[in-house]
Amino acid sequence: MPHYPLQGTEKWRKKYKHLDAPRRMYAAFVSTADEMIGNVVGHLEKLGLREDTIIIWLSSDHGHSVEQRTFGGGGSSGDFRGHKFTLWEGGIRVPCIVSWPGRVPQNAVRDQMAISIDWMPTIAQYCNVRKHEPKIDGKSIVSIIESEDAPSPHKVLHWETGKHWAVREDDWKLVHDGPATDYKGRQIAEVKDFLSNMTEDTTETKNLADSYPDVVKRLTKLHNEWVRERQNQ
């Protein structure tokens, strides 16, 4: 949650009834999820287990949906381009909250590169389970959680859905065959290769592919090597 079907409780449906659809359905479900999470946390505190429990709240494995089954949307990617089923930042950059009193820093934000598949080895490390068989792609991010200065365990990350793929190496991100999308009312056309520097342009509105053809070539090679490696596994 929140995920379709959008099934907010009556209390929250009444609170947001003044909003236009589909925002009112989505808002009601977000508040319903928030209330239920609060109930779980409250129960842990009642049992005296709060300091023995790590809470990981992954709000989504992708950006907001614009599908018909979710009434065409209701969510927002803010300043980021794209949505679910795209590999623009609005489709893959999602928030996460981690809470563990006495173990995890409070009121802190991290911006190192990580991905959802990192949670299995991360939880395993917290549980003192060191060996993983078979080999997995995720990497522990315990060091990142504990320090804002820790480097990302990933130098390169890959994504692929259909003919649409993306690869990120440090600050560089290449999106191949990315669909046309809007950004604050402005249409950004589909292009074969769209290169962004994620330090300078997280909104992916300025294509640097023509200015840095060597980077496009290198990232494309990394993608092709990744595909061959997967095929041989």
CA dihedral 139, 142, 147, 151 (to 10 degrees): -10
Identify the pLDDT of residue 75.
85
Query: Residues 54-106: pLDDT tens digits?
Result: 999 986 788 888 888 888 888 888 899 999 999 999 999 998 999 999 999 99
Percent of the chain's residues with pLDDT above 70: 99
pLDDT at 207 over 70: yes
Identify the pLDDT of residue 217.
98
Please confirm whether the linkage preceding 101 is cis (ω < 30° from 0). Answer: no
Identify the pLDDT of residue 218.
98
Identify the pLDDT of residue 192.
96
User: Which residues, including other chains, have CB under 8 Å from residue 93's CB and lie 6 or more apart?
Assistant: 63, 80, 202
Identify the pLDDT of residue 134.
72
Q: If phi over 0 gives left and psi between -120 and 50 gives alpha, with beta otherwise, what is residue 145?
A: alpha
d(C-alpha 22, C-alpha 6), whole Å? 10
Query: Residues 114-173: pLDDT tens digits?
Result: 999 999 999 999 999 877 677 788 999 999 999 999 999 999 999 999 889 999 999 999
Identify the pLDDT of residue 68.
87
d(C-alpha 159, C-alpha 153), whole Å? 17
Per-residue pLDDT, averaged over 186-215, amounts to: 95
More confident position, 134 or 6: 6
User: Which residues, including other chains, have CB under 8 Å from residue 67's CB and lie 6 or more apart?
Assistant: 4, 84
Which domains does the chain show, CATH number per domain?
155-233 (3.30.1120.10)
pLDDT at 185 over 80: no
Helical H segments across 98-175, by residue range: 119-126, 142-146
pTM of the model: 0.89
